[in-house]
Structure 1
C-alpha cells in the first residue's frame, strides 16, 4: 500500500529512540499521514527540506514541526546537527515513549542521514547505523552521504 512504502520505522533498542522516516507530505496527504503519526505517537516532525505543507494541521494535533533545511544530496552543518540533537534529546525525556518523524522530499537522503546521526550519537557504530537504516529503508543514502556518516564523530 501507499502508506507502507512511505513510512520506515527505525528504533535504537539501547536508548529507546524511535524515528519514522518518510517522504514529503503534502496538504492533501496530511490527513492519512496524521493517522500514522498518531499510531506511532509522533510528537515532533523534523523537516529537512523546504516547506511543502501548512503546519497548522499537525500543530492542532499537538505535533511540533521543526524546520532544519539543508541542501538535497548534502550534509548538515554543525549548528543544524546541534539543533536536531536538542530535539531528539528532548523527545527521549518525554513521559511516554514517542517517535520523532523526519522527512525530506523522497525520504532517501537527508532524512535517513539525520536518523543515522542520532543512532551514532547514542552509541551505534556509523557503518552499523547505515546498514540498520538501509534494512528498513531501501535506497537510503548516496555515496557522499555514506562517506560522511562513516567519518562522523559524535
Structure 2
C-alpha cells in the first residue's frame, strides 16, 4: 500500500503508483521542454546543470516535484512575467511555494474560492490576493482594476526590455480560463495586441482562454493610459 501523501506530495496520484507507461510519458514530456525550463527543473530537484534527468532513478517525492513543476506555465513579455498555475491544495503547498520562490513571486492572485490555507504563503513572504469571479467567464471591471493595480505595483507603469527579475503568480481552478485571461489583459494594457497576447499564452499553456474570453479580449480596450510600452 502506498504511503499517505505528505504536504510536499502531489495530491492527485501518488508518484509511487506511476506505471512504466506513466514514467515513459513523463520522460517524453521532458524532452519537449525548452532548455531554460529543463534547467529550472534541474535546479528544483537538485540535479547538476549538465546532468541528464533520469526519470527511472528518481524517488516518488522528486517525481512529484517534477510533475508539479510541469503543471505551471511562465508567461514572459519584456520585463513582465506571470506564473500561471492550477489551484493548490494544502498537501501540495510546499511544492507551490518552491515554484513561487524559484521565480521570485511575492504576490499570488487567487481567482477562485481558495480551498487551502494561506499560511504557507505568508510564512514565505508571499501575499495572497483573492479576486474571485465565475469560472469560464470574463473578469468584471472591479477585478480588472484590482488586478492591474497589483501588476503596476510589481512591474511599474512602463515596460522595458530588461529581463524580468520577479513574477506574479496567478491561479484559478485549472489555470486555463480565468488566470490566462487576466494575464492577457495585463499584456494588452502594456501594449501587446490582444490576439498576439492570446497566442503567446497558448504557446505556453495549451487550451487556455475559451471563446467567450477570446471575444472579450478582442473587444477589450485599455483603460489605464499609464501602462505603456517604452
TM-score (norm 2): 0.64
Q: Considering only aligned residues, what root-mean-square deviation do their CA atoms show, in Å? A: 1.1
The answer to whether structure 1 residue 153 and structure 2 residue 224 are counterparts is no
Q: Where do residues 23-102 of structure 1 align in structure 2 (5 Å cutoff)?
A: 23-93=86-156, 97-102=165-170
| Greater relative CO, 1 or 2 (CA 8 Å, sep 6+) | 1
Secondary structure in 2 matching 1:102: strand
**Corresponding residue for 1:134?**
202
CA distance, structure 2, for counterparts of residue 33 and residue 4 of structure 1: 8
Secondary structure in 1 matching 2:132: coil
Secondary structure in 1 matching 2:114: coil
The alignment covers a number of residue pairs equal to: 150
Structure 1 residue ranges without an equivalent (≥5): none
Give the structure with higher Rg (CA): 2
CA distance, structure 2, for counterparts of residue 40 and residue 47 of structure 1: 17
The answer to whether structure 1 residue 113 and structure 2 residue 143 are counterparts is no
TM-score (norm 1): 0.94
Secondary structure in 1 matching 2:91: coil
Structure 2 residue ranges without an equivalent (≥5): 1-65, 157-163, 223-230
Runs of 4 or more, structure 1, over 4 Å off, are none
Secondary structure in 2 matching 1:116: helix
CA distance, structure 2, for counterparts of residue 31 and residue 122 of structure 1: 32
Name the one with the larger strand percent: 1
